[in-house]
């Protein structure tokens, strides 16, 4: 069994070029207490280089989670240069100045910890959960790749990870059943230059065109402390943790100011119908509407609309399509909230041979009922109960809490926004749900039919007036 290198030697290696604690200034701390729907104590402050730091202590178990959000995702890319944010997530695990290739995983896992990263359209995160006595190790590793990644980046590493991502694209998108459905839907809703018009993974052509210089420029622009938020949750000693944060992150220079994407609002005029022939057994239809951005008015109400229409077996669409009419295999409906604008989507997988026009007709009937008459108090209460249960379940672990706190810190500027977030759901009424349905679930929408190859007769459209998309 291999033994870990002693932590002090690693710490010494990292401090080369870093500022001393005395030079790493920070703004005065803001201490906030959250009481609903969970109890949290938060301390937040900012280093001189712009790094936002949030601490939330919980000594119930000897575990600590470290979560870093970089405020960059596929929405920060440009047409012809897509997939960079996700590709860079992979590059961040290929070693930095003081952490060798594949060492990031080894050092955390041999300490008994978990780690990973993920990319969305609007952020990239990296997270670890370790026994409390390994907190310093995690902090210097994260700071090493924030401050000293470029010196270890090589063409060979880029080529290797480019190949990994391209294979991921082929496996999960190009060659997967229904794999191109979401990408086709995005292209039908958004204009080509809109930052949400392409999927996070990007295109094979764009990935192939990415040069080492492109990737290095992406790092310099976005992977800087002034574009990041560091959250530490769990069993730690506050004074020591603040000193470590200042020691390892304080000397990393700030990057250039970030210009956030600000596309014009998207509006659909009427109904657009698209059909995608795919190597699938069952036809599937997705109906999408443009809806308000994350945390904007009606965003929370539309979450409840999703629960009422397609949130489980007791929902209206599931009862009607699966149990009563028996023409569908599965049903889902949800508000897909994002900072630059959201989508509300209903997706139904039909039973074999069922014409998707029948599915859409039933969906329209059920939406019409919800447009003409508010949901019941019981339906709204059930939606709130489901929201609370899911919310609290996600906050049970230090990793879950850290990610939720970082989401609020990044998107709202307030890590304690959890109370206000809970309040907007608790304030929902049948009348407010009814108003949201009337306002947004209109005929201005995109209807995507995914049908088995050579079975376009099952599509929810008249093929004589709609474009045909094939794969």
> Hey, which residues are catalytic here?
89
> What is the pairing mode between strands 40-46 and 52-57?
antiparallel
| Whole-angstrom distance, CA of residue 468 vs CA of residue 470 | 7
CB 141 within 8 A of CB 121: no
| Whole-angstrom distance, CA of residue 254 vs CA of residue 341 | 29
Q: DSSP character for 152?
A: G
**403 CB-near residues (< 8 Å, 6+ apart):** 67, 125, 127, 231
CB 340 within 8 A of CB 75: yes
Burial, 349: exposed, middle or buried (Cβ in 10 Å; 0-12, 13-18, 19+)?
buried
CB 321 within 8 A of CB 327: yes
**First-to-last C-alpha distance (Å) of the chain:** 49
Between CA 212 and CA 221, with CA 218 as vertex, the angle to 5 degrees is 140
* HSE of 195, CA atoms in CB hemisphere, 13 A: 23
The tokens for 138 are: 């995690």
**323 CB-near residues (< 8 Å, 6+ apart):** none
| Whole-angstrom distance, CA of residue 294 vs CA of residue 39 | 24
The tokens for 355 are: 């014409």
The tokens for 362 are: 């039933």
SS (H, E, C) 10-77: HHHHHCCCCCCCCCCCECCCEEEEECCCCCEEEEEEEECCCCEEEEEECCCCCEEEEEEEECCCHHHC
Q: Which residues face 470 on adjacent strands?
A: 277
Query: How many CB atoms lie under 10 A from the CB of residue 81?
Result: 15
């Amino acid at each position: 069994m291999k033994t870990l290198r002693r932590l002090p030697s690693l710490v010494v290696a990292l401090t080369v070029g870093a500022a001393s604690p005395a030079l790493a200034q920070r703004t005065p701390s803001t201490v906030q207490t959250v009481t609903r729907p969970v109890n949290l104590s938060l301390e937040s402050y900012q280093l001189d280089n712009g790094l936002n730091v949030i601490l939330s202590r919980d000594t119930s178990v000897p575990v600590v989670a470290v979560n870093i959000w970089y405020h960059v995702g596929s929405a920060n890319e440009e047409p012809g240069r897509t997939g960079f944010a996700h590709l860079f997530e992979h590059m961040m695990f290929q070693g930095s100045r003081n952490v060798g290739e594949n060492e990031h995983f080894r050092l955390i896992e041999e300490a008994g910890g978990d780690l990973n990263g993920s990319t969305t359209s609007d952020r990239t995160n990296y997270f670890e959960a370790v026994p409390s006595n390994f907190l310093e190790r995690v902090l210097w590793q994260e700071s090493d790749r924030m401050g000293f990644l470029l010196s270890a980046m090589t063409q060979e590493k880029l080529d290797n990870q480019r190949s990994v991502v391209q294979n991921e694209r082929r496996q999960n998108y190009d060659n997967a059943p229904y794999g191109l459905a979401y990408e086709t839907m995005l292209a039908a809703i958004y204009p080509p230059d809109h930052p949400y018009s392409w999927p996070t993974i990007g295109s094979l052509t764009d990935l192939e065109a990415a040069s080492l210089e492109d990737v290095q420029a992406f790092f310099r622009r976005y992977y800087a402390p002034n574009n990041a938020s560091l959250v530490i949750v769990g069993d730690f000693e506050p004074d020591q943790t603040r000193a470590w944060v200042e020691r390892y992150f304080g000397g990393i220079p700030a990057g250039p100011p970030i210009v956030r994407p600000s596309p014009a609002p998207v509006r659909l005029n009427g109904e657009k119908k698209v059909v995608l022939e795919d190597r699938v057994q069952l036809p599937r239809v997705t109906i999408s509407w443009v809806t308000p951005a994350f945390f904007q008015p009606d965003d929370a109400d539309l979450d409840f609309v999703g629960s009422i229409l397609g949130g489980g077996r007791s929902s209206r669409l599931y009862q009607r399509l699966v149990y009563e009419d028996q023409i569908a295999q599965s049903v889902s409906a949800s508000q897909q909230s994002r900072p630059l604008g959201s989508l509300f989507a209903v997706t139904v997988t039909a039973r074999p041979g069922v014409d998707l026009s029948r599915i859409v007709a039933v969906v329209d009937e059920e939406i019409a009922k919800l447009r003409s008459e508010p949901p019941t108090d019981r339906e709204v209460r059930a939606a709130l109960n489901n929201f609370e249960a899911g919310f609290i379940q996600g906050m049970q672990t230090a990793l879950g809490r850290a990610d939720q706190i970082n989401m609020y810190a990044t998107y709202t500027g307030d890590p304690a926004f959890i109370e206000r977030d809970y309040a907007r759901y608790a304030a929902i009424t049948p009348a407010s749900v009814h108003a949201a349905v009337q306002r947004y679930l209109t005929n201005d929408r995109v209807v995507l039919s995914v049908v088995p190859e050579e079975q376009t007769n099952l599509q929810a459209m008249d093929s004589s007036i709609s474009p045909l998309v094939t794969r």
